[in-house]
Amino acid sequence: MGPSGLDAALGSVERVLLDTSTLIALHSPHERVHPLAIHLMGRIQSDDDPLRGYYSAISAAELLVRPIRTGVEIFTHMQDFLTGFAHVSSFPADLAVAAQAANVRAIARMDLLDAFIVGTGLVCGCEAIVSNDERWRRRLEPLFARFRWIYLGDYL
Protein backbone atom coordinates (compact mmCIF):
# COMPACT_ATOMS: atom_id res chain seq x y z
CA MET A 1 0.00 0.00 0.00
CA GLY A 2 2.70 2.48 0.99
CA PRO A 3 2.32 6.25 1.09
CA SER A 4 -0.54 6.27 -1.43
CA GLY A 5 -2.58 4.01 0.87
CA LEU A 6 -1.85 6.28 3.82
CA ASP A 7 -2.89 9.31 1.78
CA ALA A 8 -6.12 7.56 0.79
CA ALA A 9 -6.85 6.72 4.44
CA LEU A 10 -6.30 10.33 5.46
CA GLY A 11 -8.52 11.58 2.66
CA SER A 12 -9.54 15.18 3.24
CA VAL A 13 -8.41 15.27 6.88
CA GLU A 14 -6.80 18.58 7.82
CA ARG A 15 -6.04 18.07 11.53
CA VAL A 16 -4.20 14.95 12.66
CA LEU A 17 -3.02 13.97 16.12
CA LEU A 18 0.42 12.39 16.03
CA ASP A 19 0.85 9.73 18.67
CA THR A 20 4.24 9.40 20.37
CA SER A 21 4.87 6.16 18.48
CA THR A 22 4.52 7.98 15.15
CA LEU A 23 6.99 10.66 16.22
CA ILE A 24 9.43 8.02 17.46
CA ALA A 25 9.16 6.22 14.11
CA LEU A 26 10.02 9.49 12.37
CA HIS A 27 13.27 9.73 14.33
CA SER A 28 14.13 6.01 14.17
CA PRO A 29 15.36 4.82 10.75
CA HIS A 30 15.31 1.20 11.97
CA GLU A 31 11.51 1.31 12.47
CA ARG A 32 9.62 -0.46 9.67
CA VAL A 33 7.17 2.43 9.37
CA HIS A 34 9.90 5.10 9.27
CA PRO A 35 9.34 5.84 5.54
CA LEU A 36 5.61 6.31 6.17
CA ALA A 37 6.30 8.67 9.08
CA ILE A 38 8.65 10.67 6.84
CA HIS A 39 5.99 10.83 4.13
CA LEU A 40 3.31 11.95 6.61
CA MET A 41 5.53 14.62 8.12
CA GLY A 42 6.53 15.82 4.65
CA ARG A 43 2.87 16.41 3.88
CA ILE A 44 2.35 18.23 7.16
CA GLN A 45 5.42 20.39 6.58
CA SER A 46 4.33 21.40 3.07
CA ASP A 47 2.77 24.82 2.68
CA ASP A 48 0.79 23.41 -0.27
CA ASP A 49 -0.93 20.67 1.76
CA PRO A 50 -3.76 21.54 4.19
CA LEU A 51 -2.76 18.67 6.55
CA ARG A 52 -1.53 19.94 9.93
CA GLY A 53 -0.19 17.95 12.87
CA TYR A 54 -0.71 18.18 16.61
CA TYR A 55 0.88 16.34 19.50
CA SER A 56 0.22 16.14 23.19
CA ALA A 57 2.47 17.62 25.85
CA ILE A 58 2.59 14.02 27.12
CA SER A 59 4.15 12.94 23.81
CA ALA A 60 6.71 15.73 24.12
CA ALA A 61 7.71 14.45 27.55
CA GLU A 62 7.93 10.87 26.25
CA LEU A 63 10.07 12.00 23.31
CA LEU A 64 12.50 13.91 25.52
CA VAL A 65 13.36 11.16 28.02
CA ARG A 66 15.95 9.31 25.93
CA PRO A 67 17.60 12.50 24.59
CA ILE A 68 17.94 13.81 28.14
CA ARG A 69 19.70 10.59 29.12
CA THR A 70 21.82 10.54 25.97
CA GLY A 71 23.26 14.02 25.84
CA VAL A 72 22.92 17.66 24.99
CA GLU A 73 23.28 17.29 21.21
CA ILE A 74 20.44 14.78 20.85
CA PHE A 75 18.29 16.68 23.35
CA THR A 76 18.84 19.90 21.38
CA HIS A 77 17.89 18.13 18.14
CA MET A 78 14.65 16.81 19.62
CA GLN A 79 13.83 20.14 21.27
CA ASP A 80 14.38 21.88 17.92
CA PHE A 81 12.05 19.39 16.25
CA LEU A 82 9.34 19.86 18.88
CA THR A 83 9.48 23.64 18.67
CA GLY A 84 10.38 24.28 15.06
CA PHE A 85 8.87 21.69 12.70
CA ALA A 86 6.56 23.54 10.32
CA HIS A 87 2.83 23.09 10.83
CA VAL A 88 3.19 20.79 13.86
CA SER A 89 1.89 22.16 17.15
CA SER A 90 2.00 21.08 20.75
CA PHE A 91 -1.24 21.04 22.67
CA PRO A 92 -1.13 21.50 26.46
CA ALA A 93 -2.45 19.01 28.98
CA ASP A 94 -4.95 21.35 30.60
CA LEU A 95 -8.14 20.67 32.56
CA ALA A 96 -10.22 20.10 29.40
CA VAL A 97 -7.72 17.50 28.20
CA ALA A 98 -7.61 15.96 31.69
CA ALA A 99 -11.41 15.57 31.68
CA GLN A 100 -11.33 13.90 28.27
CA ALA A 101 -8.42 11.70 29.38
CA ALA A 102 -10.45 10.58 32.39
CA ASN A 103 -13.36 9.78 30.07
CA VAL A 104 -11.11 7.77 27.72
CA ARG A 105 -9.50 5.92 30.62
CA ALA A 106 -12.87 5.14 32.18
CA ILE A 107 -14.57 3.77 29.09
CA ALA A 108 -11.59 2.22 27.27
CA ARG A 109 -9.52 1.23 30.33
CA MET A 110 -6.42 2.73 28.72
CA ASP A 111 -3.19 3.63 30.39
CA LEU A 112 -3.52 7.20 31.72
CA LEU A 113 -0.70 8.64 29.59
CA ASP A 114 -2.22 7.15 26.42
CA ALA A 115 -5.63 8.43 27.50
CA PHE A 116 -4.15 11.93 27.82
CA ILE A 117 -2.84 11.71 24.27
CA VAL A 118 -6.24 10.62 22.93
CA GLY A 119 -7.91 13.29 25.08
CA THR A 120 -5.68 15.86 23.40
CA GLY A 121 -7.00 14.79 20.00
CA LEU A 122 -10.57 15.13 21.23
CA VAL A 123 -10.04 18.63 22.63
CA CYS A 124 -7.97 20.08 19.80
CA GLY A 125 -10.44 19.02 17.13
CA CYS A 126 -8.39 16.46 15.28
CA GLU A 127 -10.11 14.40 12.62
CA ALA A 128 -7.62 11.52 12.66
CA ILE A 129 -5.18 9.91 15.05
CA VAL A 130 -2.04 8.38 13.55
CA SER A 131 -0.29 5.77 15.65
CA ASN A 132 2.20 2.97 15.29
CA ASP A 133 0.29 1.01 17.95
CA GLU A 134 -2.32 -1.28 16.39
CA ARG A 135 -4.07 -1.78 19.74
CA TRP A 136 -5.25 1.83 19.71
CA ARG A 137 -7.38 1.38 16.62
CA ARG A 138 -8.72 -1.99 17.73
CA ARG A 139 -9.72 -0.73 21.18
CA LEU A 140 -10.75 2.83 20.43
CA GLU A 141 -12.29 2.93 16.96
CA PRO A 142 -15.60 1.39 18.16
CA LEU A 143 -15.78 3.91 21.02
CA PHE A 144 -14.67 7.04 19.18
CA ALA A 145 -15.99 6.76 15.66
CA ARG A 146 -15.49 10.49 15.03
CA PHE A 147 -11.80 9.86 14.37
CA ARG A 148 -10.10 8.11 11.54
CA TRP A 149 -7.85 5.68 13.40
CA ILE A 150 -4.76 5.20 11.30
CA TYR A 151 -2.29 2.49 12.19
CA LEU A 152 0.90 3.01 10.17
CA GLY A 153 1.58 -0.74 10.01
CA ASP A 154 -1.47 -1.17 7.77
CA TYR A 155 0.30 0.75 5.00
CA LEU A 156 3.55 -1.18 4.77
pLDDT computed for residue 137 by the predictor = 86
Instruction: Assess if residue 32 is contained within a domain.
Output: yes
pLDDT computed for residue 32 by the predictor = 96
User: What confidence category does residue 115 fall into, taking pLDDT thresholds of 50, 70 and 90?
Assistant: very high
Instruction: Express each pLDDT in 37-73 by its tens digit.
Output: 999 999 999 999 999 999 999 999 999 999 999 888 8
Beta-bridge partners for 18: 130
Range of the domain at 36: 2-91+125-155
Report CA dihedral (28, 41, 69, 112) to the nearest 10 degrees.
Answer: -100
Instruction: Assess if residue 10 is contained within a domain.
Output: yes
| CATH code for the domain in which residue 74 is found | 3.40.50
pLDDT computed for residue 119 by the predictor = 96
Instruction: Assess if residue 132 is contained within a domain.
Output: yes
